[in-house]
């Protein structure tokens, strides 16, 4: 089941976020929207995104490692597209070394349009990926 987030989910979001980055902290931003993927009342994934004009910007997308490669992230991505069907494109930044995420986005039609040099605190480059949805 995919549902909107509640304030008490932050603890679980931060735990799961550690699979993306060991120092993961959710920084509250009133512009951010969060969807939670739950199975048997356990949070197994989430997506954080924001809308800028007609663009969906994905901030974070994480699936619990025990539930990966079963279509869970695809469910979250599709739900955002359904909810924000007025938008024309989706964008995101991903670490150059994040092979599985790059493959995931590539499978979903995202294209690398730019490289942001030394984008992360440890100076790793980010790939800017974009998908036109209209």
Ligand X SMILES: CC(C)(COP(=O)(O)OP(=O)(O)OC[C@H]1O[C@@H](n2cnc3c(N)ncnc32)[C@H](O)[C@@H]1OP(=O)(O)O)[C@@H](O)C(=O)NCCC(=O)NCCS
Residues in contact with ligand X by CB under 6 A are 19-20, 60-63, 68-74, 94, 98, 100-101, 103-104, 107
Q: What minimum distance in Å lies between the beta carbon of 71 and ligand X? A: 5
Instruction: Tell me the residue nearest to ligand X as measured from the CB.
Output: 73
Which one, 48 or 87, has the nearer CB to ligand X? 48
How many whole angstroms separate alpha carbon 54 and alpha carbon 124?
29
Region of 126 please: left (phi>0), alpha (psi -120 to 50) or beta.
beta
Measured CA angle at 18 (ends 15, 24), to 5 deg: 95
Q: What minimum distance in Å lies between the beta carbon of 6 and ligand X? A: 21
């Amino acid at each position: 089941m995919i549902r909107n987030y509640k304030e008490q989910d932050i603890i679980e979001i931060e735990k799961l976020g550690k699979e993306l980055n060991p120092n993961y902290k959710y920084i509250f931003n009133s512009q951010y929207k969060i969807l939670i993927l739950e199975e048997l009342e356990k949070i197994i994934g989430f997506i954080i995104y924001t809308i800028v004009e007609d663009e969906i910007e994905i901030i974070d997308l994480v699936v619990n490692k025990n539930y990966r490669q079963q279509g869970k992230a695809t469910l979250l991505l599709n739900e955002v597209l359904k909810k924000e069907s007025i938008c024309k494109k989706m964008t995101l930044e991903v670490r150059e070394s994040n092979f599985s995420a790059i493959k995931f986005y590539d499978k979903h039609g995202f294209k690398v349009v730019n490289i942001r040099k030394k984008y992360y605190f440890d100076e790793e480059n980010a790939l800017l990926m974009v998908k036109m949805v209209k």
